[in-house]
Amino acid sequence: MGMLRDRMADDLKLKGLAPITQESYLRYAQRFADHYKDRSPLKLGEREVRDFLLHLVKDEGIAPSTHGVCLASLQFLYRVTLRRPEVVAGLRYPKVPGLVLPHVLSGSEVVKLLGCITPLRPRTMCTLIYATGLRISEAQNLLIADIDSTRGILHIRKGKGGRDRDLPLGEKLLLVLREYWRLLRPEPPYLFPGEVPGQPITRTAICLALRRAGRAARLKKRVFPHMLRHSYATHLLEMGIDVRTIQVLLGHSNINSTLRYLHVARERLATIKSPFDVLGTPDGDVLR
């Protein structure tokens, strides 16, 4: 896209969208331009936009949520950057399924997974994500200054929706972070710097480390960073933490985003035995 991409990047910054949203919009706009190769988006219209979206849905099988992000990207490109809103005026967002249950790990699976992650930087970051329920973008952008070890607080700045929030840092997690600091002494400002100086660790590096760890731990589930956040929320519910508190910890603006974890927790009810089931058995000896 060349200069057009630079113009769109500037428009996204002026709009104040979250960095991860800017990245997604630019990525899908670039895919749209690459799809038509030598034909610039300046010369394309509604028919080409519809055909591209249809290609993603039919040929690549993208999910409705991904379809929606791609459409939002092209709407921004034509409405804001190119000032041709008529191109996307007739396009509608796809219907998204009402409830998609999150994939979670059991407590023993989390222990196995974290123990298999190498090297130290991605292992510490993944431990932090599970221990606090952070989004991967929030963990990537953590600064060293965001750790308030005296008060036991983790400051999250400009999370999803541009909202700030504070999270508790448990003693066990603080020990992990102190050991990480002692061994690696990360270069400021980021707590988890990447290979490029002045930039945080990449999402790709974390995903790759998790996939390798999942295979090493012989987990049958496909492991991805957000699964650690899902597991954190579900395990909090199983520990008796109320939904409203979990909503605040996760940084959800809508309680419905948090309520779906109730369905996952309820699935595990089937694995809970009644005291009556163990009466008269060796397991029943614990009943006093």
State the catalytic residues.
Answer: 135, 160, 226, 229, 252, 261
Among residues 105, 98, 111, the alpha carbon closest in space to that of 233 is found at 105
Residue 110: its H or E element:
helix 107-116
Among residues 219, 204, 210, 226, the alpha carbon closest in space to that of 100 is found at 226
What's the full length of the chain, in residues?
288
Cβ contacts of 195 within 8 Å, gap of 6 or more: 202, 205
Among residues 242, 19, 14, the alpha carbon closest in space to that of 136 is found at 19
Quick check: bond before 85 cis, omega within 30? no
What is the spatial distance between Cα 287 and Cα 272, in angstroms, rounded to a whole number?
A: 15
